[in-house]
Structure 1
Amino acid sequence: MSGDFGEIVTAFFMATRSLPAVSIDPVRWRYKADRNKAAPFSDLVQMVLPTWPHSSADDRIVCAEVKAKATKGKFDPIAAAGHGSASDRGGRLVNTLQWLKDKALTDGSDFVQTAQLDRFIQAVDHPQASWEFCAVAVIDSDFVNDEIAKGTAPSTGECTLIVISIPELKQRYTELFDAIVMSADQLASAPVVTTPPTPASGASV
């Protein structure tokens, strides 16, 4: 729950960071096969394609490794996010794009077109785009200063480090997932309302 919440928060943050450009997000967590396990490959992928359906040199792809820390412990989210971002830069992002394309073809997607993914999978067929890699740590505000003080941040030449501090992080993500379950239950129990077809002009009722 902590990891999924961190990815959702980061997705909103990164999309806002790209404004006024519109970010295309495949919403990777919707392809989770097991609710207790993270979806595979890179945590977050967003694309900015300002002249789509035509590719351009202004196209940009953002890839982020996200780690969350909601409770006290030895886990170092900043160092872990930096190590994960290194894997993204080392080839995991390319595998993620192919996986997202396969999932879009088999499971469908309301958020991304396979051609948009191909724009970066088959990068040599398009103008050179910008590729941005980020390490994101989502940390309870009670621990954030101690985590930063560890000095385990990746160097600026490797990737961009982003630290998001959230008060009472565990309570916040618990409230969110409780609200999601309640909303789903309400939708499942809502009566189905059907609208009768409108008669064709001149037809008797």
Structure 2
Amino acid sequence: MSRIIVFGGHGRIALLLAPLLVADGDEVTGVIRNPDHVAEVEQTGAHALVADVESLGVNELAEIIRGHDAVVWSAGAGGGSAERTYAVDRDAAIRTMDAAVEAGVRRYVMVSWIGSKADHGVPGDSDFFPYADAKWAADEHLRGADLDGTILGPGTLTFDEPTGRIVLDPEGKGEVSRADVARVIAVTLGTPSTFGRTIRFGNGSDEDSAPIADLLSA
């Protein structure tokens, strides 16, 4: 059994992830900002912890993280102002990494996006630029942190039924169901061969995809 803390515990992916982890015998803490979401998070089998990651410092976040075995960052500002995007997707994410180091919790899984690269190609005047810029900065910080980190880069998210299969480094948008992203996170957490990797993926077709566990353990 592992104790896993998920930042962004009320997100669509996190709500699909928690039941998978609980079914595997893990204890899950879902960190949420809105107390109105406690009941929905706890229906998944997770314990809901109300905390505003935008306002908490590294030491306070370390107290939340301490005692867990792994951290999953699946939080985000969800669009809106550039200021808040940087505050959550970059700054708060980075503080949780530093907090994980302070708390002695080495395993850290970052849910990023398929296009998170230094040359992501998003124009500076695009509304999407702050997100792309913030995610790249957070991903780079994880790469340099003293953590067993994995960066997951799913393609365009869909509400399709899970297939249990993915393809790595897909062409184009790399569409992938949120349910399959949740399964990728769950498998990644327990797969040491993913330490230090950036894994970009989509569902692909039956012909070019493979079972999630097979690809991640290769």
TM-score normalised by length of structure 2: 0.29
Tell me which structure has the larger Cα radius of gyration: 1
Which one has the bigger strand percentage? Answer: 2
TM-score by length of 1: 0.30
